[in-house]
Structure formats: C-alpha cells, structure tokens
Amino acid sequence: MFIQHKLTESDDGYELILYLDPMLTEFSEELGRRGRRKREKSLRENAAQYIREKLPDLKIKTIKVMLGTTLIATLAFAGPLTQKAKAAESTVVQSDYQQNAKLVVDGNQVQLSSPAVNRNGTVYVPVRDLANAVGATVWWNAESKTVGINMGETRIAFIIGSDKARVNGIQVSMAPSYIVNGITMVPVRFVAESLGQTVSWCDVTNTIYVGTGKVQTYTVKSGDTLWKIANAHGLSAGTLQAVNGLSGTTIYPGQQLIIKKDAGTSNPAPAPAPAANTVTYQTYTVQPGDTIWDLSIKFGLPQQELLKVNNLTTSSVLSIGQKLTIPVHHIAVKATVSPKHGEYLDWWTEAQYLFPINKVATVTDFKTGRSFKVKRTIGANHADCEPLTASDAAIIKEIWGGSYSWTERAVIVNVDGRKIAASMSSMPHDISYIKDNNFNGHFDIHFKNSTRHNDGKVTEAHQQQIKVAAGLV
C-alpha cells in the first residue's frame, strides 16, 4: 500500500509522511467513496502496520498520507523512540557517485541530455534518452510523480524515489530513480533488462552497453590488436573503430568492444563485392564572391576538371546566378591484403577525390605504427601536406630518426575511415599555410601513379613504398 516514507524530526518526535502506491487504483477509488472517519480508520490501520514493520521503535507524532502530491489525510499518532530506529533512518543519504559514464545502445553511443552517473555500481541515465534509444515510449503523471515506460507488451511504472516498481502489474525491487535539473534519471540495467535488452558494463571505458540481440560484445585480451579482433569477426578495423567510437587503434585488456551482427546469425555476412567507380553530377548556382578556385576547394575537385566540365578557362569570369555542373566522384572500396595494409588507389582517378585540398587525415607510419595528423594544403600531381600541430611535426621528426629527410617511407593515410596505401618524405620545403606547427614548409605524400610537380614523372622509390603499404611486395 505504502511505497516509501519520509521523516521530519522535531523535539518531541517525528512527523511521518507515507506515500500511497498510485497503482493501487481500486483502493484509492475506495478511499474516495468512504466517509472521513472510515477512511482515516483504514489509513490508520495500514499506517500502524507499516510502522510496526519498518519503524517499530520510532516515536511518531503525526502521520501525513500522500497520493503523489495530494494530501489524503493527517493522523495523530504516538510511539517510543530509540537510537536503533534513528540510526536506521540516517541511512537515507545520497550515495557517492561518479559522473560521465557512457551509454552505448546497439553499437551506437547515445548523446545524453544529462551526464550518465555511476552510483555505487548502478548506472543512471535520463529515462527519455534510454527509451528513445531502445524504441520505447515514456509517460509522466505530474500529480503522483509516476513514470511509465512502454515497449511492445511490456509496461513499467514507478514513482520517483521509490525502491519499488511494477512490471506488467507485478511489483519488483529497483534502485530508486531521482530528478536532477528537471531530468528523470533511472537505473539502466533495471529498465533495459525489464524491456528484454541485454546489458553489460566495461570498467576500463566506463561504458554500459545495451543491446537488442543484434550485437555481441568481445572482451579484449592481452595481446589482442584491433586488426586481429576485426579479422576474427569478419570486420574491417575502420568499422570496429566507428562502431565503438574509437579515435585510434589503442585498446586495453578488459575493454569491451561491440561486434555488430544480424540477429540470429552465427557468422558475419560476407562483404559485398567492390562496385565500380562512378560519377554523378549536381548543379550549383554561383553566389557573390565565388571563384573557380574556391569552388574547386569547396567541392574537393581539381580546378582543371571543374573548368573542363563547364567549358570554362582560367580567364573565365563567373556571373551571380550562373549554373555550374559539379562532378561527384564515388570511389569504390577495394579489397586489401590484410587489415594492416591500405587500399591501392590510383591518384588521378581515385585517391585525390578522397583526399582533396583542405582535408585532414591521420597518417600512420607502416613500419613503426606511429600516427600523426596532417592537412593537405596544396598540390595537384601529389598531395602536398603539412603537420596539423607542432606535436604532429615532432612525431614526424622522430619517425625519420630525429631529422627531416627526403627518404621515402611507406605510410597509411586514413581519410574518413578509408585507409589508402601511400609513401611520404618528411623534408619541409616551399610554401606553408599552417602557422604555429614548427614546420617551415610542406612535405610530399605520393599515391599510386602520382608524379613530381617539376617534370610530371613518377618517382619509383615512392611507388615502391606505396606497394609496401598495400602489401604488394
């Protein structure tokens, strides 16, 4: 009948507030039909039973019976006070908690309206965020402070702060919910498992994983690498990174990774065969201030291609409102020798469209595995790049043995999840655009069939290193 209580201490005893279970609708309606004396008698009897069971030694001066925020009755009462009961009541305190836990549902990290909280091993998240992520709906009764969650045939209902809930009409225990900044926080495991979801926790990443059966998890073991795990499950390392929100390839023993699979399958579906490269076209209306060069950068195209498609020359003047045809290149994914190697993509027809001017990429030295960020700032025959920061420049110098060099090294260029086989020299030369990176000039990154700027010829040493990065030698 009563789902929770609250005590207020005074000099000569306690005021006890008892909260009726609003889901006992028949009893509530019956109370409303009874006369005042009969109603108070019934409440007093039930209140006395509650006190005998939960507060037997506590001196109660007054009892207030509440249905949500509505006062049903005020009753006079009296009983003894002992330290035992007082101590028991003192346990009603907030537990210590740790914020910024993460919630991942079916492999996708959920953007929360309020930070997830790990309170003594119980993770709390905003109820509506969790419900939306698993496909449930939420209802709220402001008067009774009751929250309801519905999904399919499952119905969950509980009062804010109560340690009880009803799941499909059956009363069960739950970690009490609470409200912070107007947002209702609920225990993830209780709600998710009540809705038929699987739940697991990773201490290493401070992440709680919720799944509907379409995903499985893998616990990282000593000696594991991202490539090894991806291979074992028929996935690319890039996919594994994206699913788990990883910015790099570093993983830790004990870490849980999401492995996306279709429900009911024991083996991953084979990857589709690579499609052919295709080109589609879109129309752009010239705006004030537009130039051919700026538009080529905007759409990631070589300037000459944009001119040719639109029958223009470098001396052509654009008019406001003029319609331009913009090629859109769709570069097919090519198979790689192993997860460690990159796609062997032609510079002229493929790689330059994936790595256009102003694009930031992560470059990984094939031999050492060390990575740094770069930005392509110029270049047509190959990619002229600069370290993104001074830290990136320092890593480059260390990889080349402590000094910048023209020596070619095999590298993997990761652009938007696409890993491309390439070759790089680190010597700074000519023009630079990025300031405060401790790198005076730019360096060269070559791809399959790319050429030198000065004579348009292929550098064989670069092409050999590109094949190393592609696993072809």
Which span out of 121-130, 336-345, 418-427 was modeled with the highest average pLDDT? 418-427
Supply the pLDDT for residue 158: 92
Burial (CB count <10 Å: 0-12, 13-18, 19+), residue 462: buried
Numbered ranges of CATH 3.10.350.10 in the chain? 213-260, 278-330
Residue predicted with more confidence, 301 or 220: 301
Numbered ranges of CATH 2.30.110 in the chain? 347-470
CA-closest candidate to residue 59, choices 109, 3, 13, 124: 13
365-417 pLDDT tens trace: 999 999 999 999 999 999 999 999 999 999 999 999 999 999 999 999 999 88
pLDDT over threshold 50, residue 273: no
Mean of the per-residue pLDDT values of the chain = 82
| CATH architecture of the domain covering 98-196 | 2-Layer Sandwich (3.30)
In this structure, what DSSP letter does residue 126 have? E
**DSSP-assigned states of every residue in 246-273:** -SSS---TT-EEEEE--TT-SSPPPPPP
The Cα–Cα gap between 414 and 249 comes to: 12
SS3 state at 85: helix
Q: Distance between terminal CA atoms of the chain? A: 77
pLDDT over threshold 70, residue 11: no
CATH superfamily for 278-330 is LysM domain (3.10.350.10)
Q: Which one of 3.30.870, 3.40.50, 1.20.1050, 2.30.110 gives the CATH number of domain 347-470?
A: 2.30.110
Residue for token pair 């790049």: 385
Q: Which residues contact 46 (CB under 8 A, 6 or more apart)?
A: 1, 2
CB burial of 78-104 (b: ≥16 within 10 Å; e: otherwise) equals: ebebeeebbeebeeeeeeeeeeebbbb
Token representation of residue 82: 């002992």
40-70 pLDDT tens trace: 777 888 888 877 777 766 678 888 888 766 7
> 213-260 sits in which CATH class?
alpha beta
Numbered ranges of CATH 3.30.457.10 in the chain? 98-196
